[in-house]
Amino acid sequence: MFLTITTTGTPEHPATDLGFLLHKHPDKAQAFSTSFGTAHVFYPEAEERGCTAALLLEVDAVALVRRGKGKGRGGAPDAALAQYVNDRPYAASSLLAVALGNVFSSAMRGVCRALPERAAEPLPLRVEVPAVPARGGPGLVRRLFEPLGWAVTAEAVPLDTEFPEWGDSRYVRLVLESGTRTLSDALRHLYVLLPVLDDAKHYWVSPDEVDKLLRAGEGWLPGHPEQKLITSRYLSRRWSLTREAMERLELLRLAETDDSEVEEIDNAVAPETEQEDRPTPLAVLRREAILAALADHAAARVLDLGCGEGHLVRELLKEPRFTRITGVDVSVRALTIAARRLGLDRMGERQAARVNLLQGSLAYTDKRLKGYDAAVLSEVIEHVDLPRLPALEYAVFGAARPATVVVTTPNVEYNVRWETLPAGHVRHRDHRFEWTREEFRTWAAKVAERHGYEVGFRPVGPDDPEVGPPTQMAVFTNGITTDTTEKEAEAA
């Protein structure tokens, strides 16, 4: 997948200023990791009178299939061959648009600290993309780019040059030329219109895509004659998102017509009564789900195993029903930060009696962990090397044996919903593994069987119909009462 951007210059304004505007040095070839392969930036030409920057996107087709579990462009899950043999490594699409946004993010925003005045100036630009899938043919390409001031060359690529009777493919060779275009505008046009031409996206289109569209379309999308088609295709024809985007674009158009601000037009509700819906962070949803699970099992004495910097311990302290809270972590530094965040040195005597922080390893049995109603392993097991996981299992389920154990861990299937997560990468560099829902359920069932527990599962976060929730939770119960557990602890 290949794209070039060319400009010309003069002795006063050399073409090599393009390197400053793109924040990529012409004398260096650079590589950037993306969620689907590697993006390479290099300069085939870098002279005073002419400079060309090239973006080569090397797509890892195998990793993309594994990451997407067969979803998205490239075929249905059962179309095994189509998942690997398709146009994604070669034809410009949403893959290239995301790479543009990641690699040239500052240029797309029109930011250049070295040459701020050049970033705002129109440049003589030529953009060339050898293969663009265009559902609508060359005619649609012209309808999308010509209203923006581009001189468009869109040549249909034949299916096979040896057999002209077969006709043309759905791909075009695209050349855009303009002498009155800022680099920021050019990049934003490509960012929006490449996936529109392809009429497909390789990642899940969530509500925040509306904000991305409006940011990239600022200044040109509200008045575009193909606004409805662009909006619908960019948002993967999701009706609710398309309607929201069209309503907001109409407000922008009205504001421009009246030479006023959007807030002056959209003033039916007083600012003090507005409530902006912001997505709740996953970490907060996770803690809420853990507290709900502990409440369901009437836990009063709780272990937070792998407590880190004490975020969950702090939430537990807010609930009076938790009478004894112990955080355990192998890191002394993390425990020091937790103590400072909790304000243990300033805490009242009654409150301080409820909480305790211990340094210890979960790979070894520890008699201090007995006598609790519940234990929580929140985002912990994935940090343990798989060969050492049985030791943790025995320390918690075999030796400590709380009546309830709550375990949360990432659902690797959901990783495809984060477009910026590189293909084949885990969410955190310290994760030794990340499991699918089936792998997690298999592990949990075996642990429950070995140690006499029953186990149930709950989603944490939005439960996607295709790939499940971002976090998966298992709740283990063994039916042992608090009194029995306390007697065992005293005997030990």
Residue 66 confidence (pLDDT) above 80 = no
Q: Give the whole-angstrom CA distance, residue 57 versus residue 489.
A: 60
Above pLDDT 90, what percent of the chain? 56
Residue 311 confidence (pLDDT) above 70 = yes
Size of the chain in residues: 492
Q: Hey, what amino acid is at 73?
A: R
Confidence of residue 485 (pLDDT cuts 50, 70, 90): very low
Taking all residues of the chain, what is their mean pLDDT, rounded to a whole number?
A: 85
Burial class (CB in 10 A: 0-12, 13-18, 19+), 23: middle
Q: Give the whole-angstrom CA distance, residue 469 versus residue 463.
A: 4
pLDDT greater at residue 36 or residue 182 = 182
Instruction: Look at residue 492 in the predicted model and tell me its pLDDT.
Output: 42
In angstroms, the Cα distances linking 295 to 239, 299, 301, 322, 406 are: 39, 6, 11, 9, 12
Q: Give the whole-angstrom CA distance, residue 50 versus residue 48.
A: 6
266 — alpha (psi -120 to 50), left (phi > 0) or beta? beta
pLDDT greater at residue 62 or residue 80 = 62
Lowest-confidence segment of 65-79, 203-217, 391-405 by average pLDDT: 65-79
Confidence of residue 116 (pLDDT cuts 50, 70, 90): confident
pLDDT tens digit sequence for 248-304: 888 766 655 555 555 554 554 455 544 555 678 889 999 999 999 999 999 999 999
With CA atoms as reference, report the closest residue to 195 among 405, 419, 387, 432.
419
Q: Give the whole-angstrom CA distance, residue 429 versus residue 433.
A: 10
Q: Give the whole-angstrom CA distance, residue 312 versus residue 320.
A: 14
Instruction: Look at residue 254 in the predicted model and tell me its pLDDT.
Output: 66
Residue 482 confidence (pLDDT) above 70 = no
What average pLDDT does this structure show over 196-216? 83
Confidence of residue 106 (pLDDT cuts 50, 70, 90): very high
Confidence of residue 356 (pLDDT cuts 50, 70, 90): very high
With CA atoms as reference, report the closest residue to 472 among 353, 377, 346.
377
Q: Give the whole-angstrom CA distance, residue 432 versus residue 168.
A: 49
Looking at the DSSP bridge assignments, the partners of residue 403 are none
Residue 466 confidence (pLDDT) above 70 = yes
Instruction: Look at residue 386 in the predicted model and tell me its pLDDT.
Output: 93
pLDDT tens digit sequence for 367-413: 999 999 999 999 999 999 999 999 999 999 999 999 999 999 999 99
pLDDT tens digit sequence for 414-448: 988 876 666 667 888 889 999 999 999 999 999 99
Instruction: Look at residue 76 in the predicted model and tell me its pLDDT.
Output: 37
Q: Give the whole-angstrom CA distance, residue 95 versus residue 37.
A: 10
Instruction: Look at residue 269 in the predicted model and tell me its pLDDT.
Output: 47
Confidence of residue 236 (pLDDT cuts 50, 70, 90): confident
With CA atoms as reference, report the closest residue to 204 among 392, 403, 31, 35.
35
Confidence of residue 491 (pLDDT cuts 50, 70, 90): very low
Strand order in the sheet with 2-8: 30-34, 37-46, 50-59, 2-8, 123-133, 168-181, 151-158
Q: Give the whole-angstrom CA distance, residue 389 versus residue 255.
A: 60
